[in-house]
Amino acid sequence: MESLRQYVRDIPDFPKPGILFRDITPMLANPEALTAAVDAMAAPFIDAGVEVIAAAEARGFIFAAPLAMKLNAGFVPIRKPGKLPFDMHSFAYELEYGTDELQVHVDGVKKGQRVLLVDDLLATGGTMEACCRLLEKCDAEIVGCSFLIHLEVLGGAARLSPYQVQSVLTYGQDDEEAELSIQNRQPGPSV
């Protein structure tokens, strides 16, 4: 599965200075890589009795619908303010690069339904923690959280410690340091 890494492009200083952005658009553009990513995100939960996939917009949606179809589950959108038309639960949270708020319809998930939460990437965990809080307000049973990418150094997994957290690609301290040193390297003398 490490071969999927070649489809993740690193963009320094996006969307703010100091952020190393992990751009998954090359993976999305490749049919084999996209299929492999969805299959790997679903695999740990194939026999988990998942009834609903829930995910936050926008990048979470990309993986949520194919995972729902693969696991024979429904899909419940978690959206940013001003998008949902019916009564909703809300939760405000902090991001790696800002603050935001998420909402879900009060009847999106029924009491006791088994929900798998999905997102492209786990950084600080603020987004996924907000999603978990929203589903707890619905009295859902959270089966786990499935990510394509986990940025370990940002400590997001600890915020999700009550739940089973799975990721396909993990970027640790060594990856961050190696990539930062490449970005900072000065051109050497030509020989």
Ligand X SMILES: Nc1ncnc2[nH]cnc12
The contact mask relative to ligand X for 64-103 (x = CB under 6 A, - = no) is --------------------------------x-------
**What value does the CA radius of gyration of the chain take, rounded to a whole number of Å?**
18
| Alpha helices (H) along 13-146 | 25-28, 31-42, 59-70, 126-137
Task: Choose which of 7, 53, 89, 119 interacts with ligand PRP (CB under 6 A).
Answer: 119
Q: Per rule CB under 6 A, is residue 119 in the interface with ligand X?
A: no
DSSP class of 40? H
* Of 22, 51, 96, 159, catalytic: 96
Residue 27 near residue 37, CB atoms below 8 Å = yes
Q: How many CA atoms lie within 13 A of 143 on its CB side?
A: 22
How far apart CA 102 and CA 119 sit, in angstroms, is: 14
Task: Choose which of 156, 160, 165, 168 interacts with ligand PRP (CB under 6 A).
Answer: 156
Q: Per rule CB under 6 A, is residue 144 in the interface with ligand PRP?
A: no
Task: Choose which of 37, 84, 96, 167 interacts with ligand PRP (CB under 6 A).
Answer: 96
Q: Per rule CB under 6 A, is residue 164 in the interface with ligand PRP?
A: no
Please state at what angle helix 59-70 crosses helix 31-42, rounded to 10 degrees: 70
77 binds, among ligand X, ligand PRP, none (CB under 5 to 8 A by kind): none
Could you count the other beta carbons within 10 Å of the beta carbon of residue 110?
12
Instruction: Tell me which stretch binds ligand PRP (CB under 6 A): 25-33, 64-72, 94-102, 137-145.
Output: 94-102
Residue 14 near residue 45, CB atoms below 8 Å = no
Q: Per rule CB under 6 A, is residue 84 in the interface with ligand PRP?
A: no
What three-state secondary structure class fits 162? coil
Instruction: Tell me which stretch binds ligand X (CB under 6 A): 19-27, 31-39, 98-106, 183-191.
Output: 19-27
Residue numbers at the binding site for ligand X (CB under 6 A)? 19-22, 96, 121, 123, 151
- Which sequence positions are flagged as catalytic? 59, 96
